[in-house]
Amino acid sequence: MRLMALFTLLLSSLVVASTEVVEFSDESLRPRFQQLVEELRCPKCQNQNLADSNSPISQDLRREIQRMLEQQMTDQQIKDYLKSRYSEFILYRPEVNKSTWLLWGSPAVILLLGLLIAMRHNRQKPLATASNSASAADQQRLAALLDDEVNQQ
Amino acid sequence: MNRLALFVPLALFIGLSLVLLLGLDKDPTELPSALVGEPFPAFNLPSLEDEQSTFTEKDLKGDVLLVNVWATWCFACRIEHPMLNELSQQGVKIVGLNYKDQRVSAKAWLVERGNPYQFNIFDAQGSLGIDLGVYGAPETYLVDAEGIIRHRRVGVVDERVWNAEFRALYEQLTGAKQ
């Protein structure tokens, strides 16, 4: 029971630690803030987004994003602002450009390739079965052999 | 079926292995810098030494210099500091950007460990840090006489890094000026 109480205490402190109060003058900004901090990457702790990270730089950038939202900047303007400072690395969803077209295009290319292979494979199938089927003489031999087998038993 | 076609999967495998092998040498924590080739961002911040006076980006023009982002809470800065002292003795001009730090402890640090800096910009809020895209101290920027950032190093500048990344470019920039 005491252990249980201790555990609950620990749990509640965790909850307090992870919530950061963000105040907005206009509540409609909150979903946009949430969307942005989830889509932007923490430059220091590379496998976390700004929403998940507790590093000082993420705290600063969250504050900065909040400030920009309050200044009526659009999402694109905010992303451009951060991109010009932290490079494209900060975008978890990279933009389509010269260096990323392969990344964006490869799923479609691979899908097309797969479809092509599947189509060719299907077309070859009847041919393959035809060549594998035995001739009439072979069929007779096979039947005779099978008969022998059955008779011996 | 064409026998050569049987080797296609093997070729693909070897190709992919080579790409991954090359990737092993890359440091994933090193971000491409968005600021190399760009002018040093505008700022207006107080001096660390003298609260009354302020610096702007214009104070960085006129000379080839290093801008070093440091803080007393930054452990790697302790390791880097002797190298900065040495560079400063060799005549390299270094400007400090004291990043999200306490004025008192930063001043004490410079008394204790020596002061390699021409002057120190005091960025308590980290606002210039955000404009520079700083994501960890120490960071070092090579800025030319026109105030254009020519190189950026995230992490400690030691003898090896100086020789490999900075020296040639620094000598080229200072040599061209004379």
pLDDT digits (tens, 9 = 90+) for A85-137: 888 888 888 888 887 888 888 999 999 999 999 999 888 765 555 555 667 88
Chosen for mutation from B35, B69, B130 (greatest number of chain A CBs closer than 10 Å) is: B130
R_g of chain B computed on alpha carbons: 21
| Residues from chain B contacting residue A95 (CB–CB below 8 Å) | none
Domain count, chain A: 2
Measured between CA atoms, the residue of chain B closest to residue A124 is B1
Which of B28, B31, B126 shows the shortest C-beta gap to A86?
A: B31
Check whether A75 has a pLDDT greater than 60.
Answer: yes
Distance from CA of A1 to the nearest CA of B (A): 42
Inside any domain, residue A134? no
Q: Residue A42 belongs to what domain range?
A: 2-91
Inside any domain, residue A150? no
- Summarize pLDDT for B103-125 with one digit per residue, the tens: 999 999 999 999 999 999 999 88
- Alpha carbons A56 and A91: distance in angstroms, whole number: 19
Give the contacts of A91 (CB within 8 A, at least 6 positions apart). A39, A40, A41, A79, A83
- According to DSSP, the β-strands at B139-143 and B149-154 are antiparallel
Inside any domain, residue A59? yes
Inside any domain, residue A136? no
Q: In three state form, how does the secondary structure of B70-90 look?
A: ECCCCHHHHHHHHHHHHHHHC
Question: For the domain B29-174, what is the CATH code?
Answer: 3.40.30.10
Count of pairs with CB atoms under 8 A, one residue in A, one in B: 37
H-state helical runs in B90-178: 103-113, 127-132, 159-161, 167-177
| Model pTM score | 0.71
Instruction: Identify whether residues A6 and A71 lie together within a single domain.
Output: yes
Chosen for mutation from A55, A64, A66, A85 (greatest number of chain B CBs closer than 10 Å) is: A85
Write out the two tokens for A139: 């069929």
Instruction: Identify whether residues A87 and A100 lie together within a single domain.
Output: no
Nearest CA-CA partner of B137 in B110, B161, B158, B156: B156
Inside any domain, residue A148? no
Write phi, then psi, for A95 (nearest 5 degrees). -80, 155
**Exposure string over A57-73, b if 16+ CB within 10 A, otherwise e:** bbebbbebbbebbeeee
- Summarize pLDDT for B90-107 with one digit per residue, the tens: 999 999 999 999 999 999
Note the ipTM here: 0.73
CATH of the domain at A76: 1.10.8.640
Instruction: Identify whether residues A87 and A28 lie together within a single domain.
Output: yes
